[in-house]
């Protein structure tokens, strides 16, 4: 058992009755700025959502209107605000074992294939299984993967694994790095795995669970915009999870992204995308294995 400590938070935000509704031209400016920076495509229907999310930023910055907020973004002092703007707009919703078929495929197909292939190719019984979680959000996806990997490799001597976790949002990455989740986020985790892989919070942390340090040390976190012209990896990966982020991007951006990921996947390795996403109308060299699962052959 361990005790986590949480800061109680210290808000010096000025209380405002709320800004006037965003005008059409202000909304268009925000829409364009967000698109240019992240390719998150906010249609006209997202105006209410943008207002709801940005009003918190206005309060935090003590700004009274969207016009003031836009002037701030355009000013030299507001350059850093872009991260907060994207943080506020992006949808980070995720949960443990989301789209469980992917994790079944990982444990039942990819991992046995990797171990056998490696045995055959190198004639040994060791290796490092590397995963990239490319839109990691608050960490539920990579920690789910970590449970599967630890369970699979336990008792298999000389095998290691690591997960590289990236997201455009520094806010969610900070949360992911902590590895602390409330009980309701952990619903689908097997009860024996809850005991084996999590420390249970006590006292004021009652109801929270922290992923154990021996798992956390295999995960690394870094802010990365998937639109960056190149990615800072020296390694390639057995599996890239790039789930539920392409859905924001237009076809051209999706095509660019998938073709930038391709060289980072090891031969025989996999790209896994969200069930609501598809590579059907884009040009890419991956082979479709089953819906949302692609292989570099």
Ligand X SMILES: C[S@@+](CC[C@H](N)C(=O)[O-])C[C@H]1O[C@@H](n2cnc3c(N)ncnc32)[C@H](O)[C@@H]1O
Q: Would you tell me which residues interact with ligand X (CB under 6 A)? A: 38-40, 90-94, 98, 135, 137, 141, 167-169, 172, 225-227, 243-245, 248, 274
How close are the terminal C-alpha atoms of the chain, in Å?
Answer: 45
Q: Which two tokens stand for residue 107?
A: 């444990």
Of residues 65, 51, 49, 53, the one with CA closest to residue 16: 65
86 vs 110, beta carbon nearer ligand X: 86
Residue 241: CB minimum distance to ligand X, A = 6
What is the distance between the alpha carbons of residues 43 and 163, in angstroms, rounded to a whole number? 34
- The answer to whether 292 and 277 have CB atoms below 8 angstroms apart is yes
Name the residue nearer to ligand X (CB basis): 60 or 227: 227
| Distance in Å, CB of 257 to ligand X, minimum | 9
Q: Tell me the residue number closest to ligand X, measured at CB.
A: 94
Residues assigned a catalytic role = 53, 167
Closest approach of Cβ 131 to ligand X, in Å? 12
d(CA 88, CA 45): 17
Cβ of residue 297: shortest distance to ligand X, in angstroms?
A: 24
- 128-148 burial: b if 16+ Cβ within 10 Å, else e: ebbbbbbbbbbbbbbbbbbbb
- Minimum gap (Å) between residue 108 Cβ and ligand X: 20
Residue 81, C-beta contacts closer than 8 angstroms, at least 6 positions apart: 57, 61, 72, 73
Q: How far is CA 190 from the centre of its chain?
A: 22
Beta strand pairing call for 219-223 and 159-167: parallel
- CB-nearer residue toward ligand X: 199 or 254: 254
Instruction: Output 102 or 130, the one with its CB closest to ligand X.
Output: 102
Nearer to ligand X, 73 or 135 (CB): 135
Give the chain's length. 297
Question: In which residue are the tokens 């930023």 written?
Answer: 57
């Amino acid at each position: 058992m361990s005790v986590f400590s949480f800061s109680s938070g210290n808000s010096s935000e000025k209380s405002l009755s709320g800004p006037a509704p965003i005008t059409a031209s202000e909304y268009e400016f925000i829409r364009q700025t967000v698109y240019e920076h992240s390719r998150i495509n906010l249609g006209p229907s997202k105006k209410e959502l943008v207002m709801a999310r940005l009003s918190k930023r206005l309060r935090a910055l003590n700004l009274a209107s969207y016009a003031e907020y836009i002037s701030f973004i355009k000013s030299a002092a507001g350059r850093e605000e872009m991260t907060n703007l994207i943080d506020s707009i992006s949808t980070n919703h995720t949960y443990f074992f989301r789209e469980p078929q992917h994790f079944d495929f990982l444990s039942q197909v990819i991992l046995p294939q990797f171990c056998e292939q490696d045995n055959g190719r190198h004639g040994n019984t060791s290796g490092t299984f590397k995963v990239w979680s490319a839109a990691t959000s608050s960490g539920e996806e990579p920690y789910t993967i970590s449970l599967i990997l630890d369970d699979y490799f336990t008792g298999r001597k000389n095998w290691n694994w690591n997960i590289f976790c990236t997201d455009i949002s520094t806010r969610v990455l900070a949360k992911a790095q902590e590895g602390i989740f409330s009980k309701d986020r952990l619903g689908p985790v097997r009860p024996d795995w809850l005991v084996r892989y999590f420390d249970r919070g006590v006292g004021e942390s009652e109801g929270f669970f922290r992923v154990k340090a021996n798992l956390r040390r295999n995960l690394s976190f870094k802010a990365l915009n998937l639109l960056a012209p190149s990615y800072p990896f020296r390694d390639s990966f057995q599996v890239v999870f790039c789930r539920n982020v392409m859905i924001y991007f237009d076809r051209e951006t999706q095509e660019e992204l998938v073709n930038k990921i391709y060289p980072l996947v090891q031969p025989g390795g996999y790209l896994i995308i969200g069930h609501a996403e598809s590579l059907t109308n884009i040009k890419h060299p991956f082979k479709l294995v089953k819906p949302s699962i692609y292989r570099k052959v």
